[in-house]
Amino acid sequence: MQSEQAIENYLHTGAAARTSASEVITIPVVIHVVHNRADKVIGGAGNGNISDAQIQSQIDVLNEDYGNTSGYKGYYTDSLGVDTGIRFKLVSVVRTYNATSQFSPITDADELANISPAWFTNRYLNIWVTRLNDRYLGTSQFPVVTELNDRTAGLATSENGEADALTDGVIIDFRYFGRNSDAITSRIYNLGRTTTHEVGHWLGLIHIWGDSTCGTDYCDDTPTANTKNETTDLSCSPVYSQCGGTVMTRNMIENYMDYSPDVCMSIFTNDQKARMHAVLALSPRRAKMVEYSQFSTTELLVELYPNPVRETLTTNVFTPNFENYTVSVYNQKGQKVTEDAVNRSYLNVRNFPSGLYYYKVETANKTITKRFVVR
């Protein structure tokens, strides 16, 4: 009861208030590595079972790019580049073998989520890293918002919530994930900016050319562009557009939401920052994530619901500093009825005989056991 009460008190006090754009928000990240290496070897050229170092390099890139500390310079960088006030923390890496050689980011999101189920998408940013088909580098699921305004224009206000919650996140080809790794094959997209770009979409940003000729991304401080800057020019030569008049304007090829080579990218603008923070406030799953990310505790807190349960038991578990935990389930006789699972969020009890069970949650230093009833 104390755990549930602590969570309830948190969610109904000022501590759960929406974060202002001036505060730093830390987003916990789960990386799902879906690979076809039956031998489970990790790392190396052409290996989709990428190394921990490659994964950490991508988290480093995200924090540099969203913190405006990448060090890369461009025409607009010094004058318009901002710290977005958003940071990323690697919580866990889930490695899953699957014999499929490659996936479509357009049609296989459900399959990837079935192979490696998402952790709570209102608690974590889930990133699936695998081999993609055709020329795809990555994709992401746009947020759905409860209100359309100047900062959230262009986004949807409704969705298939139950289904979309299972696939909410980002999918990246392992050959473009992170930097300085043998598994990265491109000389154009080799510094981790594909993930920076796709996470930008996950936070509600639109391509700077607005996905149409001289379209809008709803950010006034990104110059209107005729089209995407999809080029192999590593010298980052200026590109110009003529939209709505006779004056030529210089494209913001440095912007992470263009298609420029990674080496050319170095900027999010203040309007893009404002849009991302508006999404973090007005997208239900993103807003809940912000609330949970601010929940600081030195204790292990566990909430089970519904209880009694007939089909699926859901758990809210809070650990200090997002520490991993292990779940095991026992019956009244003390017999273990499930295999130990790391960071389990759901438990299917449809085939459990009716009765009393014990749900044991363990971290390195703490253990809590909760009772639940299957009817």
Mind telling me the catalytic residues? 198
Dihedral of alpha carbons 12, 285, 362, 337, sign: positive
DSSP 353: P
Element (H, E) at 69: none
Q: What is the DSSP string of 133-164?
A: STT--EEEPPPB-S--STTTTTSBS---HHHH
How many other CB atoms sit within 10 Å of the CB of residue 346? 12
Q: Where are the beta strands (DSSP E) in the chain?
A: 25-35, 86-97, 125-130, 138-140, 170-173, 240-241, 249-250, 301-305, 312-318, 326-331, 341-342, 346-348, 355-362, 367-374
Residue 181 makes CB contacts below 8 A (sequence gap 6+) with 43, 50, 51, 53, 54, 57
